[in-house]
Structures are given as C-alpha cells and as structure tokens.
Structure 1
Amino acid sequence: MASPRRPTYTSPGRGRPGRGGLHSGSVHGGPGRESAPAKEPDVISASKSAPEPAPPPGRNTGRKKAKNGDPASGGARTGERGPAATGGNVLAFPEPRGRRLKRNIIIVACTVTAVVAGLLAGAVYSPLLAVGTISVSGTRLLSTDQVQTALEPLRGRPLPQVSDEEVSRLLEPLIQIKSVSTEARPPSELVVEVQERVPVALVKQGEQYQLVDVDGVQLAATADPESVSLPVIDGGAGAIGKDLFQATAAVLGALPPEVLAKLSNASAQSVDAVELKLVDGQTIIWGNAGEKELKAKVLEALLKAPSDPKNPVKVYDVSVPRHPVTR
C-alpha cells in the first residue's frame, strides 16, 4: 500500500542555478549524452501527528468548558490558579477542637459579663432598693430623731448609691458624732451606727457647765454638775490656756470610767503638774501627760487596795508610775 505522505522538498537556497531541482527526462548537453545524476536535496523533512488513542467507553472525554471563568462551572478566571482551575478537589477539614472550645468560652464569658453588668445597673438604679427606713444606733448625747432628720435627704435613693462618706458629710453639723459606719439591708433599710465623742470633763461657762472631750469640743451643756459624773476643769480653756487645758483633758481621757466617776475636779499649774481631786477629798499627783495609760492602771490598782482606817491615804502620787507613792 502506497504511503499517503507527500514528500516536502526544501530548496537549498544556495549553489549554482539549475542544479538544485529534480528534472525528469531531460538531458543536459544534448542528445545521446547521459545527463548527470540529480543532486539530492540538502534537507528532506516530513511530519505527521500520531492519532490520539480513543478513550474507553463510558468515561468522560474531558472537562466541560468553563463559562467566562465561572467557578460554579469548573472554570477559572484569567490569572487565577486554584483547585478548580487545575482540576483538583477542595476538601473541607473540620475546625480544631481547641479553637472551637476557646471560641465557645469567649462567647459564654461575654454573655455572662453582659448579664452581670445589666443586673448591677438595675440594682444601682432600681427604685425597688430605695431607702425607706433609717435605723440609728450608738447615740447617747444625741437622740435618734436628730440623726434621722439629718439623713432625710437619703430617703428614696437606691441603697447601692449611699456611701459612708456621704452619710458622714450629712452628719458633720452634729459635732457630737466622731465617726459613722453604714450597712445596707435590702430591700429598703439603711442601718447607721454612730460613734459619739466621749465627754471627759465639765467646764463652767457662766451658769452652765459644758461637757467637753479630750479635744476640748463642747458636746452638751448642763446646769447641774452633780448630775454628771465628770470632774470639773478649773478655769476652763479660756482661763488656764489652751496647752494646759489640752494636757488636763488628755489625762482625764486616759482614765477608765470607774476612776473618772470618782473625780471632782482637775487642775494644772503647768503641763508637767497636772493634779486631780477625788470626791473624798484625796489628791492625785499625776505629773505630765507621758505614760498616761500606765499611770491610769497604777492609779486604778491603788484605789482598789484596802485602806487603813487609822492611817488613811491623802495623796496618791503616780507621777513616776513604776514607783508610785501614797501618803
């Protein structure tokens, strides 16, 4: 069977003319002379593509043509490379358990925080927790009504908004109160406990006697000094001077209530010479205000010691508390 290919001849493109082609039945130089054999062409090339093998029956012969780079149709846009463009498959891996757990914890924490913040905001501003009852304790010089009247502006305010500082500011005009503490008892009760100043002496002013504490603050007044078991400071702060008055008041403030109730008056010639008088007429030489706690304990022990009726004690000297003297 003859080959269907046709040879392709390529002209050499160089050499002498007339010798590069193939001449059939021509004689060069005349009749009777044999022509020179034709020279083979320089290059003879032939090509034929091998046919592609037919695909087996039932298999897809190729991918569908993508429509304008639509990813849904299996195509890819110009310049993009990916699984769809290369014919690969995309696998969806499950999210790691640790990351999922962390995300859930963050969501729960944010939710709880938001709920707690809402509850706190509701408690702070809710009228259900408004102050309706004010209970007062710890008053002796003042009455309960006086304290409640001073705290009247707090009524109707939510309990979480009431602070000790605000209560102290409202009670500041009542000089008898030294400190205050509060407690909120839902739904509407505010408990106020006051600590009053302690009077340690009486100071005569005109026809009245003023009750004063160790700082000289006048707490109350009385016309009958016998009704109050406190000593009288002779002359008062105006007569004996501020320094002497404070030294005497500091000594009286260190005495226990049992001893303080037995005193009739106190005086001071100087800050180092404080003297006390008992209601029985006995004298207590105190000295200065140093070691006042130790002096108070020693004096209390001396007063509790049994006395000799034949030789009664007239003077208790505790100016040197480690070596007290009685005579």
Structure 2
Amino acid sequence: MASTRKPTYKPATDTGQPTAGRPRSKDSGTVISAQRSLEPGVTPAVKSTGSANPVDKNSKSGKATPPGNVIAFPEPKGKRQRRLVLWTISIVAAFVAALIAGAVYSPVLAVRTVTVDGTTLLTPDAVQKALSELEGKPLPQVSEQEINELLKPLVQVRSATMEARPPSELLVHVNERVPVALLKQGDSFVMVDVDGVQLGATKDQSAVALPLIDAGAGATNTELFKAIAAVLDTLPADVLARMSTASAASADAVELKLVDGKTVVWGNAEDRELKAKALEALLKMPADPKVPVRVYDVSVPRHPFTK
C-alpha cells in the first residue's frame, strides 16, 4: 500500500539559535515536519485506560463494542456428557431409594406366616408362639437379633437364623442346645448340655440314651462337671448313646462306663477329638471270644489299646 505520509509545512518561531547538529536553513522562518494522515472517516485507536466501552480493534468503523455483544463458545462435549451422567445417576438413585422405602414400610410384605424347622426338644408351636409379636410387621424390618431376643425365654434354643420368603412368610431355623448327660435331681433325671443348661426332665432314665453324671444338679459349675461334659460333647451321637455313666476322680482322670459294663479310660480333656476317633475305632473292632475286652484305654490317643 502506498504511504500516506505527506509533507506539511508549519511556521516556527525563530529563536535565532541554530539547531544542534543541523545546519540552519537560509529561510529560518520555516521548519519542515511530517505526520501521518489517516483515511477519511477513520478514528484513531485510543489506548484503553479502563473505560467501560473499549474500542474493538477488529471493527472497521472504530466504534466501541457494546458490553452485551459477547461471543458465546460452545460447551465442551465431555463436560456435557459428564453432567448428563450425573443427572442420570441421581435420578436412578432417587428411584431405587423410593422403591426400598416402599418395600420396608409396605403392608404388602407384612409377616402372616411363621414357619419353624430344626426343633427336637421343642415343638414348632412353642417357637411360633414366642414369635407371635412379629405378625403384621413388614419382612424387611425383621432382624435375626430381634428373633433371638424373643426366643431367649426358651432355654433349649442356642441361636436362630431367619429366611424371608416374600410376600408374607418368615422361615426360622432353630439351632437347639444338645443334651450330653443326665443329672439326678430328686426322683427325676434332668437333661443338661455342655454348659450345664437344664433342657428338660424325665422320670425314666432308660427313656433317654444319655450317660448319668453321678452328681447333684448344683454340680454343673464345678471343674469336674465341665471336664466330663466337654468329653461327652465330643463323642459321636452313636457312641454317646452307648454310655451308661460318666465320672472323674479329677480333671485329668475322666472315666466312662458303657451300658455293657465295659470301661473307657479317657484321661484329661486334651486331644478330645483324636480320643473320640480312637474310641470309635476300638468299638468297631470285631469281638474275639478268646480275648474278651473289659477296658478301652484312649488316654494316649496315638497309642490306644484294650485289655
């Protein structure tokens, strides 16, 4: 583009002094200078000083751009997708929460039937009666802790678990205590478990296939009772049924009597599981009429013997 710089002539006041480094013109009344001439209609740009309406450099007219005339850039695609995912998750979570709340408090899932299994010492009716408070309560609100609290008065129950069967059935699995011996109490025989808890009574000793511990009912807290009960609790059910009595001179000298009069020397309560397996194996050995067995000694379980 051709230069628009044009020479102009301005009068200058003659000071009578020559300009340093420049020869004085003979015509001292005139100084030659130059300035840029802009195109017609163009306003020179003004440096911004913080004005509210700065000049737009891209504007051909040179006029200030109104504050509201702002270019809007499109939102990044990734950000828009993340916002959509968050909204979707929030809606789904709210929907699930509403469903859960409806299930927890809905009368449609109220308990109407209580089914019981696992009972031997107790009858299912006794357990159902103890759990009658749960009828009408929504299944999701029933807990195993609540069931065990309601069954505490039934000493035969060691623990219980539950299984919800929508829409209205509650199945209760009862884990009963296991009687391991009889204690003589007056004219009756009391069944006790390994913890000495009394589970029932009978007047006929032969009606219950359990050994008799020759001690009163008040002996269940003694060390001898605990040692004997621990041994009996380890025996398999078929071996326990063959026992007649159990006694101990000390905690290290437990002795059992079989219904056929034979004796089992047990020793202390250590290695109970191994001793029980050794005794079971000895009892399964075929009898030899020429060598009758009167004693089974499993006090050293890795070397049991008979005599």
Q: Given the alignment, which residue of 74, 93, 96 partners 1:94?
A: 74
SS in 1 for 2:289: coil
C-alpha distance 227-82 of structure 1, shift in aligned 2 (>3 A): farther
Is the aligned partner of 1:321 residue 2:288?
no
**Structure 1 equivalent of residue 244 of structure 2:** 264
Partner AA of 1:187 in structure 2? P
Distance (Å, rounded) in 2 between the aligned partners of 1:152 and 1:85: 85
CA distance in 1, matches of 2:166, 2:55: 67
Q: Amino acid of the residue matched to residue 193 of structure 2? A: D
1:151 alignment partner, one of 114, 117, 131: 131
Q: Are 2:255 and 2:267, in contact at CA under 8 Å, matched by a contact in 1?
A: yes
Mean Cα deviation higher: 83-92 or 243-252: 83-92
Take 1:325 and 1:200, find their aligned partners in 2: how far apart are those partners?
25
Q: How does 1:25-64 map to 2 (within 5 A)?
A: none
User: For residues 202 and 82 of structure 1, what CA distance do their matches in structure 2 show?
Assistant: 108
Q: Gaps spanning 5+ residues in structure 1: where?
A: 1-11, 13-41, 44-49, 56-77
User: 8 Å contact 1:236–1:245 — kept in the other structure?
Assistant: no
Q: Which residue of 2 aligns with 1:232?
A: 212
1:302 to 265, 282, 305: 282
RMSD, aligned α-carbons: 3.2
- Where in structure 2 are there 5+ consecutive unaligned residues? 1-13, 15-28, 31-36, 42-50, 57-62
CA spacing shift, 1:304–1:104, aligned 2, 3 Å: same
Once the two structures are TM-superposed, the CA of residue 243 in structure 1 deviates from its matched residue by: 0.7
CA distance in 1, matches of 2:221, 2:65: 106
Amino acid across the alignment from 1:213: D
Give yes or no for contact 1:200–1:249 (8 Å, CA) kept in 2. Answer: yes
Whether the 8 Å CA contact 1:200–1:212 is kept in 2: the answer is: yes
Q: Which amino acid letter does the alignment assign opposite residue 99 of structure 2?
A: L
- For residues 64-143 of structure 1, the aligned pairs below 5 Å read 79-81=52-54, 85-86=64-65, 90-143=70-123
**TM-superposed deviation, 1:236:** 3.6
Identity of matched residues, %: 60
The whole-number CA distance in structure 1 between the counterparts of 2:107 and 2:205 is: 50
Q: What is the Cα deviation at residue 277 of structure 1?
A: 0.7
Alignment TM-score, normalising by the size of structure 1:
0.74
Match of 2:293, SS state, is coil
Counterpart contact for 2:193–2:229, Cα < 8 Å: yes
Contact 2:263 / 2:294 at 8 angstroms: preserved in 1? yes
- Decide whether the 8 Å contact of 2:227 with 2:269 is kept in 1: yes
- 1:253 alignment partner, one of 229, 233, 243: 233
Report the TM-score, using the length of structure 2 for normalisation.
0.79
After TM superposition, give the deviation of residue 127 of structure 1 in Å: 1.1
